[in-house]
Chains A and B, each alone.
Chain A
Amino acid sequence: MSLPIKVRPILLVFIFGTAGALTSLGFAYQASLIAASRLINPSELVRILQSAKSEKPLMIQVGSHVLYTQAHIPGSEYIGPASSESGLQSLRKRVQSLPRNKFIVLYCGCCPWTHCPNVKPADDALDAMGFTNVKILYIANNFGADWVEKGYPVGKGD
């Protein structure tokens, strides 16, 4: 059955537009799906770290080693990119012996939040292991813009 001529352009635009929407959703499917209740803002984490009374979290960077060595949150550990199976295995191994109510903060900051491939797999891994007190550091743009340039404490090297 051939389509009326005036329908064809609209159909083409529909197909292209739908493909674009689905593609965009694909790119956004990772970190954007983490519930807001599981997030912690940089300013809030800094307040906790600088408070004498607050429980200090175990902080784990789950992204790029090259970026970690340039700048990271002092006291945080590098575990490997959680977008890789080897990185996830390292993460599981690191936390295996910890009490399941341990306060843990995961972060990355490699790229804009909606495109981070690391934080969601890391969060899912700890959730599957039964950890109940995990927060993901919400880094909207990247670690430089949302932590370093804000003047928050920075560590360098391994």
Chain B
Amino acid sequence: MKKRILHGLALIAIAGLYFTTRHHGAPAGTRGKGIAEQSLAPDFSLPDLTGQKLDLSSYRGKVVLLDFWATWCDPCRHEIPHFVELQNKYADQGLQIIGVSMDDEAEPVRDFYQRFRMNYPVVMGNAKTGELYGGVFGLPIAFLIGRDGRITAKHIGATDISSLDREINTQLRGQ
């Protein structure tokens, strides 16, 4: 009897773990159309959450992960803690993550920034920013930009963090 209970618990646990890894929704890390890989990442100058202007071009020489997101976007909320970890892990090797919030107002973004202890700059994007990057018609969308300023990858939807980690590592090593 005890064995059956234990086996039952194990089956429930396995099912639960399965749904945990599936809850980000499809598609994950899909390559998309729009702006071409290897093209120069369009420059922009946008205000961060303190009102200071951030110029993307000032990060030339670093590997940049440019993440389009919003506070109401559920997959974004699950990615961001992992991005915080990646920023911590690779900051001294030259990684810079930049969040582009597509929220309509900055106030919820500031609140989110504090609650999620974000450790990278966040700027307030707009329709023009989205159009610069081939159209940001859904979230999240992330662009990996090499040290030379060229887009090396575009990820539409929730990203597989382990494969993104490998991509970042490859770019940082210059491979």
B10:A145 contact, CB within 8 angstroms: no
Residues of A close to B33: CB separation below 8 A: 149
Smallest Cβ-Cβ distance to A67: which chain B residue: B137
How many Å lie between the Cα of A47 and that of B123 in the bound state? 40
What's the least CB distance linking A84 to chain B, in Å? 9
Smallest Cβ-Cβ distance to A115: which chain B residue: B74
Chain A residue total in the interface (Cβ 8 A): 43
B9:A113 contact, CB within 8 angstroms: no
A71:B137 contact, CB within 8 angstroms: yes
- Asked whether A83 is an interface residue with its Cβ less than 8 Å from the other chain, the reply is yes
- Asked whether B136 is an interface residue with its Cβ less than 8 Å from the other chain, the reply is yes
A24:B138 contact, CB within 8 angstroms: no
Q: Tally of A-B residue pairs with Cβ under 8 A?
A: 141
A17: which of B12, B23, B158 is its contact (CB, 8 Å)? Answer: B12
A70:B73 contact, CB within 8 angstroms: no
- Asked whether A144 is an interface residue with its Cβ less than 8 Å from the other chain, the reply is yes
A18: which of B6, B13, B23, B32 is its contact (CB, 8 Å)? Answer: B13
A21: which of B15, B76, B125, B156 is its contact (CB, 8 Å)? Answer: B15
A142: which of B14, B23, B156 is its contact (CB, 8 Å)? Answer: B156
Say whether, besides A70-B131, A111-B73, A141 and B16 are in contact (CB < 8 Å): no
Interface, chain B (partner A; CB < 8 A): 6, 9-10, 12-17, 19-20, 22-27, 30, 32-34, 70, 72-76, 102-104, 125-127, 130-131, 135-140, 156-158
